[in-house]
Chain A
Amino acid sequence: MKQAASQQAGIKQSGAVRRQGYRFDRRRLGRWLLNGTAGLTLLYILTPLIFVTWLSFFRQEIPSFPPEGYSLKWYAAIPGNERFVSGFILSLQLGLISTAIGLGVGVPAALCLSRYRFPGREAINSLLLMPLMVPGIVLGIALYVFHVETEINTGLPILGSLLGLVTGHVLIVIPWTVRLVTASLAGFNRTLEEAAQNLGANRWTTFRRITLPGILPGIVAAAMFSFVSSFGNLELSLFLVGPGRTTLPIAILQYLEWKIDPTIAAVSVVQIALIAAAMLITDRYVKIARVV
């Protein structure tokens, strides 16, 4: 009797051990699956970047594996290429101007949309986000037709001008500003504004000294995203550039029509490096990760 009981206890115990081992294995399996999936996804995202960077150092003109050797000559060639240099300058100008205008329009719009209830509020909100949803090509054609009509009817030299490009890019930049600033306003504690007013600050001082610092991370993030989306835009710009006035992405495309040497890769790496540097520097002062 006693023996039987102890035997049974022994069986129970071993069962428990087995179950515990099973559970342990399952946990380890789960972790493996999670890490594996995360790793694969990361690899998927990074592969183009890695290859472009690698390619930009190849010596031979026609990219093929394995590389025949390594060289920096494609980087050295960039400053000599008139189209890339002027394209870069135009894209930079365009990005900065569009971002500035986008912030000027988007920040007040976000403030109104998140603070006041008025008829048509939802409609305006959707309208401001619309450019994100409409395909760039469609937007480009529409703007092109609009510019043609405007020029015919008013005589303004808008077609293919910097002004024309800016009007298009402001459109694709505004949704970023509105979204990101609205998000950071939602996280902003409005009693802080009441506190400032109670302490003697009028509306403008309150906005300048309390609200603005509070939503600064959102504004900086909006500026970053605006600039990047304008700087890298191809499909909209295609319709709006004029003769002798090409943006960097268009210069790259045109170059690709004739050659596929690693110059393109080198230009891309420079572009990626610049944007990454801008992100890192901004992040030191304003934690963008808090907003996006």
Chain B
Amino acid sequence: MAEVRLDGVSKRYGDFFAVREVTLTVHEGEFLVLLGPSGCGKTTTLRMIAGFVEPTLGTIFLGDRDITHLPPWQRNAGLVFQNYALFPHLTVAQNLAFGLEMRKVAKADIAPKVEEALRLVRLGHLGERLPRQLSGGQQQRVALARALVFRPDVLLLDEPLSNLDAKLRHEVRIEIRELQKKLGLTTVMVTHDQEEALTMADRLVVMNEGEVRQAGSQRDLYERPADRFVAGFVGRSTFLSGEMASGGRFVSKGGLAIACNAAGTVTGPATMALRPERVHVAPKPLAGLDNTMVGEVEFVSYLGAMLDVHVRVSPSERIVAQMPNRPDIFAPNVGDRVHVGWTADATSVFAGSGAAEEN
């Protein structure tokens, strides 16, 4: 296993930058997730590491080897494709043996290695089957075993779970993560599913429009989003636009003055993001919070374990509060006048007042 380092990597098609100046390091044994909406450049980045796309600018290192311009077959990276790409005319065992044969492993050593890899993904008994005789989950595990059997320097996963049904997906997430830890695999996974990213990653890189917006732990991204995009993409937020007033308060367009996090770093027009689950809702005045106000409940979505409560706090602004759905907790109805409140650290403020379209 080795470290992967991207240094100012860009990919340009004509005037369009698919990836723009991405610099990041995947540490040895780390599970790094590239997260972003479709078209954000995460898959292009992965394909540049695998060697299927050549960067326009920048350098890619695998360990201390500069692999920027090496063809895919000289890179020693194991890739699990979204559609698995198992060779349909070869048995499971032959699929696994392929990578070993290409590395000129002695015939006698191939069979035991293949067997070991199949045992690792709990498919020891299916070596003689053809891929089409396997279920989707089994094919996925064969693809994983095939990418691991030749001991790659880095494991690359391209939306590996998107073709599995929801229940299986939850199991396989944990399975892949445990395997990755056990073998100490340097891993880069691409996904657009934030829940998947949050469960599996050691560290996440959020991308949008070809650029890295923020890299960090789950907690970093969720509690200290670097910009409005990250605040909206990782978890949910209510956005209010307005400006920073003197005294470190955010004043919304609707005239609300809100005590908020990171005041002082932003001045002038600004956007505030508020996490719905950090908003308290009560029938009577709330104490001990930095911000409290009164509003009218306009909409309630019943989500089973949770309720989403939309509260009008000014003539032009609504905030969303998420509260647990429990019999011992107050459950507001549409039309109720309620007290809402939150602490300053439930908010983030970003320069520039974008439209508050999330309401």
Contact = CB atoms under 8 A, between A and B. Distances in A.
Interface of A: 189, 191-192, 194-202, 205, 209-210, 213-214
B102 A199 contact: yes
B72 A194 contact: yes
Given A194-B52, A194-B72, A194-B81, A201 B98 contact: yes
B83 A191 contact: yes
A191 B143 CA distance: 13
A200 B71 contact: no
A194 B85 contact: yes
A199 B146 contact: yes
B81 to A, nearest CB: 5
A201 B99 CA distance: 8
Contact of B79 (A198, A213, A214): A198
A201 B79 CA distance: 14
Contact of A192 (B72, B78, B79, B85): B85
Contacts of A209: 98
Contacts, number: 59
29 contacts: A191-B85, A192-B85, A192-B88, A194-B52, A194-B79, A194-B81, A194-B85, A195-B79, A195-B81, A195-B86, A196-B98, A197-B52, A197-B71, A197-B72, A198-B73, A198-B75, A198-B77, A199-B73, A199-B98, A199-B99, A199-B146, A200-B73, A200-B74, A200-B76, A201-B98, A202-B71, A205-B102, A213-B89, A214-B89
Contacts of B83: 189, 191
Interface in B70-114: 71-79, 81, 83, 85-89, 98-99, 102-103
A200 B99 contact: yes
A213 to B, nearest CB: 5
B145 interface: no
A219 B178 CA distance: 45
B150 interface: yes
A196 B89 CA distance: 13
A133 B150 CA distance: 52
Interface string B136-176: 00000000001100100000000000000000000000000
Highest count of chain A CB atoms <10 Å: which of B74, B75, B87, B88:
B87
Contacts of B71: 197, 202
Interface in B16-33: none
Highest count of chain A CB atoms <10 Å: which of B72, B76, B78:
B72
B212 interface: no
Given A200-B102, A214-B88, 13 more contacts: A191-B83, A192-B85, A192-B88, A194-B50, A194-B79, A195-B87, A197-B73, A198-B77, A198-B79, A198-B147, A200-B103, A205-B102, A213-B89
A210 B86 CA distance: 10
A201 B102 contact: yes
Contacts of B51: 197-198
A205 B99 CA distance: 12
Nearest to A205: B102
Contacts of B146: 199
Contact of B81 (A191, A202, A210): A191
Contacts of A210: 87
Given A194-B52, A195-B79, A196-B98, A201 B73 contact: yes
A189 B83 CA distance: 10
Contacts of B87: 192, 195-196, 210
Contacts of A198: 50-51, 72-73, 75, 77-79, 147
A192 B147 CA distance: 13
Contacts of B150: 199-200
B109 to A, nearest CB: 16
A210 B358 CA distance: 49
B152 to A, nearest CB: 9
B131 to A, nearest CB: 11
Nearest to A195: B85
Contacts of B52: 194, 197
Nearest to B96: A199
A282 to B, nearest CB: 17
Interface in B187-220: none
A200 B51 CA distance: 11
B97 to A, nearest CB: 10
Interface in B275-331: none
A250 B87 CA distance: 47
A214 to B, nearest CB: 7
Nearest to A200: B102
Nearest to A194: B52
A189 B85 CA distance: 8
A201 B146 CA distance: 14
Highest count of chain A CB atoms <10 Å: which of B52, B99, B102:
B102
Contacts of A194: 50, 52, 72, 79, 81, 85
